[in-house]
Every structure is written in structure tokens, then in C-alpha cells.
Amino acid sequence: MYATFGFVAICILVLPLIIDSIWVKVLTSAAIFTLAAYGVSLLYSHLGLVNLSQVALVGAGGWIMLRLNYAADFPFEVNLLISAVITAFIGMVLALPAIRMKGLYLALITLMIAGGFQIILSAIQFPNGGSGFFGVALQSPGEMRRPVIAESDTAYLRYSIVIVVFGIMLAAAHKFSRPGRAWAMIRKSEANAMAAGVNVTFYKLWCFTLSGFLAGTAGGLLAGALKILDAKSFPAGESILLFALAIVGGVGHWMGAVIAGFLYRVLPAIFNNIGIDADLSLVIFGAALLHAIMTAPNGIAGQISTLFQAWGRQNK
């Protein structure tokens, strides 16, 4: 627990002071996708369900956030909450036809949903200040408002980290409540869960909805960070990559989502910075996924946890 608070404090108080403006933006993006990765991990760790539409839902949350920014004079936080709630509802609706499936079939359905989202977003475009619900400004884009306390990039990085921490805490709290107990029973045996009176369909939808809520929050934060979004930023294949990195990071621990977000955004940026093609990171990701599947089922976070436990036993 102390290590967790120490890590968050360093990220909020120290890190923004020792990095330049470019890396502030990169780390803001990494923090935001940490929240999206945690949503993927939530479904897989609690129910064993594979969701390959998470990045598409991030795009949906970003679209709603931008539209609200230009269409309504609400505070940033209100727009963010509305974006998260609507995206959660979208995630729940999209989960309805796939809720009774698992494994390869569920993965294929959610991947097809992600592909459909990409086509829709490409057709209607992201809002950039145009009038009306689907309005798009052809000349100059409008202004994306940020929170009053986080107008600079450095302040917005801190703001994003705080929101991400609250989002992870909200999702993690479910583990110790009635939904968490229901998810544990469902993952162990759906038949036994139903015999015990657990509404399997309801709690699966609950998990999908919560995952969508996290994705929508991430999308809203991303809209505030970049101020303008493009459909090309949310291809269907990115959801596969995010899921793979969640496995590499470790789906059973919050640190696994942090590692996934770091790998997803920071490693390609490092390669670009030193003059190496960022696509090379995909080779590293593939090797890391193979390593996780073969020798580290709990991911990098699980290995780190094991090392700390061994170190603690040695120093007793």
C-alpha cells in the first residue's frame, strides 16, 4: 500500500518537473491508456472474457467529449462524466449479442465491433467546432476547453493521473463487493454460479459496462490532452495490441495496466527519439507476449510482486 501511494506521489509531484514538454504529452497519453488497459484487464481477470473493442470505445468517448465541448457549456468534469456514462452504455449494448459467448467467438465479435466503429468514425469525422450534433468545421477547428486547474500540459498530466487513479480505485473496489464475488463464482463455473442464484448475464453486462466506463473516461481525457482527434488514431488492430500488452503487464494487478500503458505509448516514443523505427516495438511486444504466455502467466507485474515478496522474506 505504501509503495502504491509512493509511486502515485512521484508520478504527480516529481515526474512532471524533470521531463520536457514532449515527454509530458507522451506520459499523459500513457497514463490515459493505462485506464483503458485496466478496463481490458478487468474483463479478462474477473471473467476470462476477451474484449478487442476497447480502443474503439476510447474513440467513442473522445468523440462524445469533443461534441459536448462544442455543443454544451458544461464544466470539463461534467462533460467527462457524461462521456464516460454514455460510452459505458454503448459498451453494455454492444456486449448484449456477445454476452453468451466466450473465447475465440467473443474475441472475433468484439474485433468486428471495433472495425465497425472505425468505419463509422471515419464517415462522420470527429467534432472540431462545427455546429449541430454532427457538425464539422471546414476551416479552423474550435477550442477544446480544459479544466481551469489544468490548462497547461504539465498540470493536465497531473490532473489525468489523479483521474486515472480514481478510475482504477473505483474498478478495484468491485473486487471486494457483491459484483466481485459474483464474478469470481462465474469465472470458476457458470453452472455453479447459476445454481447459487447468481444472475450470470447481469453481472457479465455489469463488467462490460464498467470496462466501457473506463474506456469512455480515457477517451474524454485523451480529447482534452490532444484537443483534436482523428479516426485513424483508433484502428481495430490497436485493441488487439492493447489487450496483448495488458497480458504482458499482468491482468491481476493494477501495476500491470500501468506497464501496459507505458509500453503502448512510451516505448514507441523512445524509439522515435533515438532514430529507430517505432514499428520495431511490435517485435518486442510479440516477444514479451510469448514470454508472458510461456513463463510468466501473471505478467511483468506478477514477476515484480514475486521479487518483492522474496526480498521481504529474506530481510525478516
SS (H, E, C) 72-88: CCCCHHHHHHHHHHHHH
Q: How far apart are CA 21 and CA 42, in angstroms?
A: 32
Res. 285 pLDDT band, cuts 50 70 90: confident
SS3 content of the chain, % helix, strand, coil (to 5): 80, 0, 20
Give phi and psi for 219, each to the nearest 5: -65, -40
Q: Which of 302, 4, 34, 289 is nearest to 160 (CA)?
A: 34
For residues 228 and 313, which has the higher predicted lDDT (pLDDT)?
Answer: 228
Any domain includes 312: no
Any domain includes 105: yes
Any domain includes 279: no
Any domain includes 265: no
- What's the pTM value of the predicted model, to 2 decimals? 0.89
Torsion 51-55-58-62 (CA) sign = negative
Q: How many domains are contained in the chain?
A: 1
Any domain includes 49: yes
**What is the rounded average pLDDT for all residues in the chain?**
83
Range of the domain at 41: 2-248
Q: Residue 197 sits in a domain of what CATH number?
A: 1.10.3470
For residues 70 and 141, which has the higher predicted lDDT (pLDDT)?
Answer: 70
Check residue 45 and give its pLDDT.
87
Any domain includes 301: no
